[in-house]
Structure 1
Amino acid sequence: MLDEAQSRSGSPGAPETADPAGPAADSATGVADAATRAEAEEIRLTRVEVEFAAAERLTFFSDAVVAIAITLLALELPVPHRGTSAEVLSWMLDRKMDYIAFFISFAVIGAHWMSHHAVFRWIRRLGGRVLRFNMIWLMIIVLLPYLTKLLTESDDDGAFIVRFGLYALAQAVSGVLFLLMVRDMWAYGLFRPGAPAKSIDGAQMRSLVMAGMFAISIPVALLGSWSYLVWIAMPVPLRVLGGRLRGWLGAHRPSSPTPETNVM
């Protein structure tokens, strides 16, 4: 009986043999885990690349639309007919408001684009309502050549308040939309790491001052052409209140609610 039990259980002094499939199985599991991690990292990088490409396309598209709007401004300028030098100069002087309005709109669109460029050069992906706000912002930019022509189309001061008010309202709304865009960019963590917060706050500050001054000029239009002085005085609050507004914007800057802020 003892011999039979020993034959079943093996020799009591014999060493236990390791399972040859154990190390191979562990190795296969490690390789599979590494492959899974590599695949997950590749998917993440692809997603980051696609998101960045989408943000870049929106930036390029916005630049193109702004460039077209500025070009349309020039196309709306009146061209003098044939005549002597004195006649041409007299003709141009009679239409001086058309040329003044062109320079005003060129400067305004340029200021809008500079703020947009200062912010969107640091965007890494889209999110929130940025795309929606940006499209409405572009719609207003495209309307500016029409609003510029409307501003100088008629010499009848009976419609001055409407013409002036529409132009100023468009600028004010454009500035507010830009502020909402930047706020969503901060809130959803759409900026690249290392984005210059002070520079972005400065772009917001300029848009805020522009929006405020254009909004103030609307009721001043009841006084007639004196309302243009509000536009001319725009550099004053930029100089006087610029630092305080930039500090206020920095103190009320929303933070991203997700850890994605540090991605890429």
Structure 2
Amino acid sequence: MLPTPSWWNPEERHAAAEQKSVHRLCPAQSSNLCRTPVVPRRRRCPHGIRNVPEADGVFSDAVFAIALTLLALDLKLPEGIAAAQLDGALINALPELFAYALSFVIIAKTWLLHHSDFALIRRFNSTLAWMNLALLFFIAMLPAPTSVLSEYGDDPTPWPSILYAANIGAIYLLLAGIWSYARHTNLMDPGMTAHVHRRIFTVRMAVPVVFLLSIPAAFALNAYTPLLWLLLLPASWLSRWMSTRSEQGSTAAKSSP
């Protein structure tokens, strides 16, 4: 009786198939002694583009939360105030309260915009990561000029207002830069239309324009410079109105024969 060939045995064929799935021949041709295990390689996206990781969002939220907490550290009255002097001390603390409220609103608004932006940004790269870190840098630094503004804002010097306006201007310029960069590098949701992106960008630029224009005006206005920041309300409304009119004009031009 002829011997049964090894390839006919089902058990040996199964073992050989498993061995081939675990090992592969190395480039040194067909030597059976030269086998290396197959290590699955992680697929990398071109140009360092990847999905937005959840850890980046958690880190950004932590920076915003710490900045909001540090703002409240300056809200305190001098020690040893008598009960009869409490009314005057509370009135004297109004500049600190105003600076705290303004910075709180700005950081909270920036946090909301940051969340809405990264809900639409689907992919991430190193440039966008550095832009986000620069934004967080100025967010974390905002309590410092807020403290200077509340402490020396009444003095006849422009520097408290200049430092504060420069910090806020940098924050909103970086927000607008992140928004524009993500759109032009195809990192954003494809469903974001061009006219919606342009309208949001135009509205956001109103804030840094007002704050940066107040910097040269501070040398003449000194302690009255924060009054210029009230122009944020009409400037934001005007930017929305202009963007809406531009969008309506482009829509009418496309619909006309």
Q: Which runs of 5+ in 2 are unaligned?
A: 1-41, 250-257
User: Match for 1:185: what amino acid?
Assistant: A
Output aligned runs, 1:1-264, within 5 Å.
Answer: 51-54=50-53, 56-79=54-77, 81=79, 86-127=84-125, 129-154=127-152, 157-158=155-156, 160-195=157-192, 200-221=197-218, 222-245=220-243
- Check 1:166–1:196 CA distance in 2 against 1; reply closer, same or farther (3 A cut): same
Are 1:214 and 1:231, in contact at CA under 8 Å, matched by a contact in 2? yes
Matched position secondary structure for 2:121: coil
Structure 1: how far apart are the matches of 2:153 and 2:188? 47
**TM-score, length-scaled by structure 1:** 0.67
More helix by share: 1
User: Match for 1:101: what amino acid?
Assistant: A
User: Match for 1:51: what amino acid?
Assistant: R
Q: Percent identity?
A: 27
Name the structure, 1 or 2, with higher relative contact order (CA <8 Å, separation 6+). Answer: 1
Structure 2: how far apart are the matches of 1:198 and 1:115? 18
In the TM superposition, what is the alpha-carbon distance from 1:235 to its structure 2 partner? 0.7
Q: Which runs of 5+ in 1 are unaligned?
A: 1-42, 252-264
- Check 1:121–1:135 CA distance in 2 against 1; reply closer, same or farther (3 A cut): same
**TM-score, length-scaled by structure 2:** 0.69
Structure 1 residues 136-157: Cα deviation after superposition (integer angstroms, max 9, x where no partner)? 1110011111110011223673
Structure 1 residues 18-38: Cα deviation after superposition (integer angstroms, max 9, x where no partner)? xxxxxxxxxxxxxxxxxxxxx
Are 2:75 and 2:96, in contact at CA under 8 Å, matched by a contact in 1? yes
Structure 2: how far apart are the matches of 1:134 and 1:143? 14
Q: Tell which deviates more after alignment, 62-71 or 239-248.
A: 239-248
In the TM superposition, what is the alpha-carbon distance from 1:119 to its structure 2 partner? 1.0
Matched position secondary structure for 2:188: coil
Are 1:128 and 1:185, in contact at CA under 8 Å, matched by a contact in 2? no
Structure 1 residues 16-63: Cα deviation after superposition (integer angstroms, max 9, x where no partner)? xxxxxxxxxxxxxxxxxxxxxxxxxxx77x96xx93252x33222212
